[in-house]
Amino acid sequence: MKSLVSNKLLSTDLQRPSCISQDHRSLDRLWLDKNECTDPKMNKVVSQSLSKISAETVFSYPDLDVLYQKVAIFANVLPENILLASGSDGAIRACFESCIESGDKVILTRPTFAMYDIYSKIYGAEVTWIDYEASENGPVLTVDKFVSTIEKIKPKMVCLPNPDSPTGTIFTPKDLRKIVDIADKVGALMLVDEAYHPLYQWTVVPWINEYKNLVVTRSFSKAWGAAGLRVGYALANNELITLIHKQRPMYEIGSVSAKTIEILLDYEADMMLSVERVNAGKKYFQDAMKEIGFSTYKSYGNFLHIKFGNHVNDVHTALEGLVCYRKDFNESCLKGYSRFSATTVEMFEPIVNCIIDVVKRCRKKESGDENI
């Protein structure tokens, strides 16, 4: 077998989960573990868009001209600035495939989106990690630390989600400008991952014609509620995106996915209303957890983190049949936090009520006063 595949694939450092042993999602629980859109009204918009797909679309190869035009209008760029891909994951891989050769240096934050490290290993890059540090206000990473690392390492590529995931943190426009500037100065491709746009609305996209090294990746999985269609895109200046296009597959995405997103883009106003509902739900849940006395911090993605403290095991047990969420993290900057994807107020209400009930029972037991 060793003679058949690349040595990089034989490395024990490169491991992937089994594709046939994943938990199947039952409909009797709310799934808030992968930051998908669970707003029922937006789900209905996506469903209606999908219902408009004809049989001809299914058995025809994709025609992507109209979709490129519509994405350009939404992103306020030209079609010549875009590469469609299989999710933002596919756009990220296209950047690695276009930029990275064995031995090249890549800078990544930690923790961050797992596929950056996977692609670094696949394409033979040497990774330098910049770690978030724990604080009372959540994970912290200073711009000075980021800039000095780029100056020292002089990488071929820098990857930075803004907001980052799973931390939910951002760099301000001023600080992000410093990072993009220094990456440009040392000749590094600067990949800014905006998977959570427009849940976090500020964007670096207006900079793509200012910086020859800047690529922005985005997804239709989060705010648009179309995670299962696997559609994303990369944005860059025309010269750079033309070069990245050279390694694209024959068809960037499938016909059904392309046509559904093409229809869905006509419902931008509905998507923005959904963003408002999801952000309102996030605030509702966060405020309710603070009122109980649990620790939390500001997150700019469609998710938030809660420390249940001494009640953690009781809360996890009580929520087991109600909702699926990320219960723990190995990274020190998120130690003790549980992460919930954001949803609407109405969807959060049963979860909040369950947590309030379990905390009341726990405090009653702790006090010994059965009348509380």
Same domain for 139 and 71?
yes
Number of Cα atoms under 13 Å in the Cβ half of residue 145: 12
pTM of the model: 0.94
pLDDT in tens, 161-214: 999 999 999 999 999 999 999 999 999 999 999 999 999 999 999 999 999 999
Residue 118 lies in a domain: yes
Asked if residue 166 lies in contact with residue 339, where contact means CB atoms within 8 angstroms, the answer is yes
Tokens at 166, concatenated: 């799973």
Q: What is the DSSP letter of 326?
A: B
pLDDT in tens, 238-295: 999 999 999 999 999 999 999 999 999 999 999 999 999 999 999 999 999 999 999 9
Q: Across residues 329-351, what is the average pLDDT?
A: 97
Same domain for 282 and 330?
yes
The yes-or-no verdict on residue 93 having pLDDT over 70 is yes
What percentage of the chain carries pLDDT values higher than 70? Answer: 98
Rounded-to-integer distance, Cα 358 and Cα 362, Å:
6
Same domain for 171 and 241?
yes
Structural domain span for residue 345: 26-35+269-361
Q: Phi/psi of residue 144, each to 5°?
A: -60, -40
Residue 201 lies in a domain: yes
Rounded-to-integer distance, Cα 276 and Cα 322, Å:
24
Give residues with Cβ within 8 angstroms of 315, minimum separation 6: 308, 355, 358, 359
Among candidate residues 207, 103, 196, 84, the one with its CA nearest the CA of residue 157: 103
We report the CATH number of the domain holding residue 247 as 3.40.640.10
